Amino acid sequence: MTSAAANPVRLAMVGGGEGAFIGNVHRLAARLDGAYQLVAGAFSRDADNCKRTGASLNVAEDRCYASWEDMFKQEAALPEDQRIECVAIVTPNHLHVPISAAALKAGFHVMCDKPAGCNLAETEALEQVIADSGKLYGLTHTYLGYPMVAEARHLVAESRIGAVRKIYVEYPQGWLANAEAEADNKQAAWRLNPELSGFGGSIADIGTHAFTLAEWISGQMVTAICAELNTHVDGRLVDDDAGALLKYSGGATGVLTCSQVCVGEENGLKIRLYGERGALEWHQMEPNSLIYRPDDGPMQILRAGVDKPLSQIALSRLRTPSGHPEGYLEAFANLYTDFAEAVRAGEAGTATNVPGIKYGIRGMKFIERMIESDRASWKWTDFDQGGQA
């Protein structure tokens, strides 16, 4: 049993009311290892929805709040051993920074759905709020929680494939392939609205996942970008398809594509890394396998399982023997459990093995640099400063 499971973190949620998708995913992930107890929530601005959601989750009615502002004020006034300790934020993007900042200032840790915010400036400003608060801030970049992603990162760090030279990462989906997909779809309604999601479409929703996965595994940071954004469905105000050439800090070059108009694709996140002495390949829809191609031997398929000879970080993110697949919810839970352990360990800023504000800022830079590069007359855009590289 983890220390957090022995002493669960008292959790509140903002958003995730009746009819929302991602809120229940967060709740299931937080509950899986017994590291949290959901004790409060501002689940919806609709009072009835909020009460129904709270009742279904066995949250006391007097701790189902009309707004997140009320919740932070009233919870902060409770005795220290009763008030919430951590806030999960599962609202549309435009509320991520305001709620995160308010929660931190009220003395609560924050676990936020990605992206960190709607624009780079507000996300960079949040970094100082986190530092001043002395609290933890985490982002649920779900795919970083997979055990075989951890194994890939370990193998790169251990130079098992040598210096990484080439990175291909792609994330195709098909759920927004036509205008009819938007009709009566709550998720599509806000994700395609720049006032609620920011000015990135596919690049914000799934491109940031691909971008962060590549940096997380490779250990190299993007330094320059050459991008193209497309909007294939008439009338949309944000992109639904994009691609980019990338240059990395360690000398690697890369190609990134993301699209939500690829008919027939489900959740096809894939990454390939080619080094001096080998290569790695991982597919999100087959998450328990990692393909390893050493230059001095045959291709190997490394498989997940607590009985497999994997790195300690990969094994720590597994629960079952080989042949018993673990997937999306377990990966999500790994981030939540690691975050809870960091809370109980008294960590501040960024939790061990959980992406924090650094990756939040880089994700927002990715969105803004993609847009800037697409509109520019020059070929390469400097990633950190903007403008011509």
> Mean pLDDT throughout 198-222?
95
366, 208 contact by CB (below 8 A): yes
Do 81 and 175 fall into the same domain?
no
Residues 127, 155 within the same domain: no
Same domain, yes or no: 193 and 135: no
Which of 154, 160, 96, 157 lies closest to 125 in space, CA to CA?
96
CA–CA gap between residue 273 and residue 290 (Å, rounded): 11
Q: How many domains does the chain have?
A: 2
Evaluate if residue 274 carries a pLDDT over 80.
Answer: yes
pLDDT, residue 180, reads 83
pLDDT for the residue 1: 47
The closest alpha carbon to 16, from 61, 60, 64, belongs to 64
Q: What is the CATH number of the domain that holds 195?
A: 3.30.360.10
27 and 121 in a single domain? The answer is yes
Q: Domain holding 137: CATH number?
A: 3.40.50.720
Q: Are 281 and 272 in contact (CB under 8 A)?
A: yes
Residue 311 lies in a domain: yes
Percent of the chain with pLDDT over 70: 99
The model's pTM: 0.94
Q: Strand 222-230 vs strand 36-42: parallel, antiparallel, or unpaired? A: unpaired
189, pLDDT greater than 90: no
Domain boundary among 115, 142, 169: 142
Q: Which of 142, 159, 175 is the last residue of a domain?
A: 142
Q: Which domain holds residue 307?
A: 143-352+363-372
Query: DSSP of 238-272, one letter per residue?
Result: S-SEEEEEEEETTS-EEEEEEES--TT--S--EEE
Residue 26 has pLDDT above 90, yes or no: yes
Pick the closest to residue 271 from 213, 332, 202 (CA basis). 213
- Cis before residue 115, ω within 30 degrees of 0? yes
Nearest partner of 241 among 253, 256, 226, 254, judged by Cα = 256
For residue range 102-124, what is the model confidence (pLDDT) as tens digits?
999 999 999 999 999 999 999 99
Please indicate, yes or no, if residue 32 is contained in any of the structural domains: yes
**In this predicted model, what pLDDT tens digit does every residue of 308-365 receive, in sequence order?**
999 999 999 999 999 999 999 999 999 999 999 999 999 999 999 999 999 999 999 9
Q: In which element (H, E) is residue 373 found? A: helix 357-375
In a shared domain, residues 307 and 168: yes
How far is it, in rounded angstroms, from Cα 94 to Cα 113?
12
Radius of gyration of the chain (CA): 21
